[in-house]
Amino acid sequence: MITTARFFSFALATILVAGCAGTKKTSSANTIPSLKDAFKDAFDIGTAMNNAQIEERDPAAAVLIPQQFNVVTPENIMKAEVIHTGWDQYNFDMADKLVAYAAKHGIKVNAHTLIWHSQMPAFMRRVKDADSVRQYFNNHINTVAARYDGKVYSWDVVNEALNEDGTMRKSIFLQSLGDDFVVEAFRLAQKAAPNTKLYYNDYNIEQPKKRAGAIALIKKIQAAGVRIDGVGIQGHWRSYDLPLENIEKSIQEFAALGIEVMFTELDLSVLQNPGPVTADVGQTTGYTDRINPYKTALPDSVQQQLAKAYGDLFSLFMKYKSNITRVTFWGLNDGQSWLNNFPVRGRTNYPLLFDRQFAPKPAFYAVIKTASK
């Protein structure tokens, strides 16, 4: 059975491919502006990529990604649970494919992520003693970071090590290796991947308390004489309450540390969250129709609100273009976003610049407009 999304994806690709071959120029998608070109003097523009996109099995995405983006982040396939399959075993298949894809299209790769308490390899569930955790930590960084040195542009070395109040999260790494595990991760990564940029990545670090925690963490790495090149503010926000003031303060305060500032997982949910506002994949709740109000279409007022929020955000990014090096969207089109399943499974969300048929939304044009202001 061919689903509607698949049909539209195929139809768009046909138009795009025909357009590229110069035989037909009817699709607006073929003539839409390019994000990476529009912002080429300001910062890189990225997207997260899923398996079908990496393997170029998604025809519309295969055309759109190289046209719109100059950097990509693997949404899942370089996480430890995928890449580190046994104590001494690794599966580099998809990551190698990504590197080959990026080389073929002249796109940079931001590798994601070396040390994260979530999505740990299955074999680590049985491991409890500190010595073994230390050994895993060393092996993982030394093997994976070294393999891709010079092949990827950058690594999210440590992901989400902080609590909302700015204290360190009581992860398996903190409990087994102590407070210094973040410094240690960067020290090992620096040695294993001397030609790769090294970043700390987290969500909600634009918020004052968590931001203070991130600044303290970055200063600690710097004070230890260990290299950290940048910080990634994930940017999982909502179109109806964008924290612009805190985002601006974060850019200023992180830039003052002398490192790159990036927005690494940008999406703006249009749906209300039933629980606390977080990107912690462990926190999900049950589905009800009431909390899935836009099942078939997005009302125009909400579409406009989303476009305005994106426009405001990119105007701010342009104001600080000398401090910001990259803005990456967490997914290509609305149908492919993790937000359709978080924090509630099976909702219909609209957080990105391209709709489910890969057509640019009003938000896309609102973003493009900020590039020439």
Instruction: Please check whether residue 331 is in contact with residue 338, taking contact to mean a CB–CB distance below 8 angstroms.
Output: yes
Q: How far is the CB of 79 from ligand G3I (least distance, A)?
A: 6
* Nearest CB to ligand G3I, comparing residues 284 and 323: 284
* Nearest CB to ligand G3I, comparing residues 91 and 119: 119
| Residue 67 φ then ψ, to 5° | -75, -35
**Residue 206 annotated as catalytic:** no
* Nearest CB to ligand G3I, comparing residues 26 and 119: 119
Q: How far is the CB of 98 from ligand G3I (least distance, A)?
A: 14
* Nearest CB to ligand G3I, comparing residues 311 and 343: 343
Output b/e per residue, 275-301; b: 16+ Cβ within 10 A. Answer: eebebeeeeeeeeeeeeeeeeeebeee
Instruction: Give the footprint of ligand G3I on this chain (CB under 6 A).
Output: 75-76, 79, 119, 159, 203, 234, 265, 279, 281, 338
* Nearest CB to ligand G3I, comparing residues 38 and 268: 268
Q: How far is the CB of 330 from ligand G3I (least distance, A)?
A: 6
Q: Annotated catalytic residue: which of 160, 184, 206, 260? A: 160
Closest CA to 327 of 261, 237, 230, 229: 261
- CB pairs under 8 A, 24+ apart, for 289-297? 291/344, 291/347, 292/344, 292/346, 292/347, 292/348, 294/270, 294/348, 294/350, 295/348, 296/348
> Which tokens in the block code for residue 313?
């955000």
57-to-1, 8, 62, 236, 245 alpha-carbon distances in Å: 17, 14, 8, 27, 41
Angle at 280 between CA 196 and CA 299, to 5 degrees: 105
Instruction: Please check whether residue 205 is in contact with residue 165, taking contact to mean a CB–CB distance below 8 angstroms.
Output: no
The number of residues making up the chain comes to 373
Q: Annotated catalytic residue: which of 184, 206, 260, 265? A: 265
Looking up tokens 């609305």 gives 334
* Nearest CB to ligand G3I, comparing residues 47 and 67: 47
Closest CA to 229 of 258, 253, 206, 195: 258
Instruction: Please check whether residue 185 is in contact with residue 116, taking contact to mean a CB–CB distance below 8 angstroms.
Output: no
* Nearest CB to ligand G3I, comparing residues 16 and 48: 48
Looking up tokens 């110069």 gives 22
Q: How far is the CB of 145 from ligand G3I (least distance, A)?
A: 17
Closest CA to 314 of 270, 365, 356, 280: 365
**Residue 56 annotated as catalytic:** no
Q: How far is the CB of 91 from ligand G3I (least distance, A)?
A: 12
> Which residue number is nearest to ligand G3I in terms of Cβ?
338
d(CA 119, CA 112): 12
Cβ atoms within 10 Å of 19's Cβ, excluding its own: 17
Q: How far is the CB of 300 from ligand G3I (least distance, A)?
A: 28
Q: How far is the CB of 234 from ligand G3I (least distance, A)?
A: 5
Residues with a known catalytic role = 160, 265
